[in-house]
Amino acid sequence: MDFSLSTEEREIRDWVRTFIRREVMPYEQEVLRRERLGQPGLTADERRELQLKAKEAGFWGVQTPQEYGGMDLSATMSALLWAEAGRTFVPFAFGGEADNILYHGNDEQKQRYLLPTIAGERRSCFAITEPGAGSDAKAIRATARKDGGDWVINGEKTFITGGNEADFAMVFAVTDKAKGAGADGGVTCFLVDREMGWRSEPIDTMGEFSPAALIFEDVRVPESNVLGEVGGGFTLAMQWIGRGRYIIPARALGACERLLEMAVEHANTRETFGAPIAERQAIQWMIADSAVEIEALRWLVLHAAWQVDQGGWNSASRHLVSIAKLYGGVKANEIVDRVLQIHGGMGYTRELPIERWYRELRVARIYEGTDEIQRRTIARNLLKGHVKPTGAFG
């Protein structure tokens, strides 16, 4: 059993750490200022400039196959990378990426959607969640009916990440009402350009994360825009949902590391009653508990990503990813709460980014599968015998 990083892994991790510190973190105060005014944290030009700077060093398409110009990094290496990116709240992501299910497109679809998305010329969004169908993807009600050589889509999607900025959406709709929205062929995925007639409406949230509601009213989509096979949408949806779920706790890990560093520094410099608050047992216990939980989260994330590398998206990896997702969301919220408490009144102000992280990390317990869904998955795997309590050492 070897927990050390290879030379290549360490070099990649260190480069990303340096890049985030030198190029991305300097935007933090400006991002806070803009967001207080209701403006985007980064402009499209600023985000693109950062992505191109990273590209100059070879960081482009982190998980994009090499045949499409990407790095094709392993899940483990990607988790390490996103943990470093998570050390800042600046809304930055490396360029050269495309949704994994776009690779299922035919040659013509790849030319129109996949390649321009990788190049950064187009922006997509994944549209499956509905007002009455969140964690229960089988409950979607949006429909697509055949009309000549087209499909006509009606329905509404909600809480769609990137839906306000996207110029096309991967839309999941029921195409066979008799089969419904289950895994038995009732749902189809469509590539739907915004110019085909759908519209988006921003959803205001407690954080800076601004998802969208998408409205489809008799939107006509040609048969050539079916992604994959008619009736194969549910399988594609589950593949999309599963691919990056371990990235959420990875980013939370990076945020927690940064927050704990802030707490330690403040505890050593802030004095009360003639002594640093670092000497107070209450503060020491909050710091100690946070350090233990961060270490546990680190290995849960890396073990889950490692399992994805070993066997792909299977019952073992799904189980471990659910554990990492659940633990990461819960503990990130506990840790940011402690760090805010250690900072006292200053932590509650917008002079420091702690309150911003406080709001942002709350969504980690909701999107890409709520805490309750993760617990359901974990319990079901154990009760049905898909995994053993002994885990990898069974």
Catalytically active residues, by annotation: 368
208 three-class SS: coil
Direct distance between the N- and C-terminal alpha carbons of the chain, in angstroms, rounded to an integer: 15
Partner residues linked to 145 by β-bridges: 152
Contacts for 285-288 with beta carbons within 8 Å, 24 or more apart?
Answer: 286/338, 286/341, 286/342, 287/260, 287/263, 287/342
Beta strand 187-193 pairing with 143-147: unpaired
Cα Rg of the chain (Å, integer)? 22
Contact 99, 135 (CB under 8 A): no
5 DSSP assignment: P
DSSP 21: I
- What 8-state DSSP symbol labels residue 130? B
Whether 173 and 232 have beta carbons less than 8 Å apart is answered as no
The continuous run of DSSP H or E covering 147 comes out as strand 143-147
Strand 124-127 with 168-174, pairing: parallel
Rounded Cα distance between 218 and 175, Å, is 14
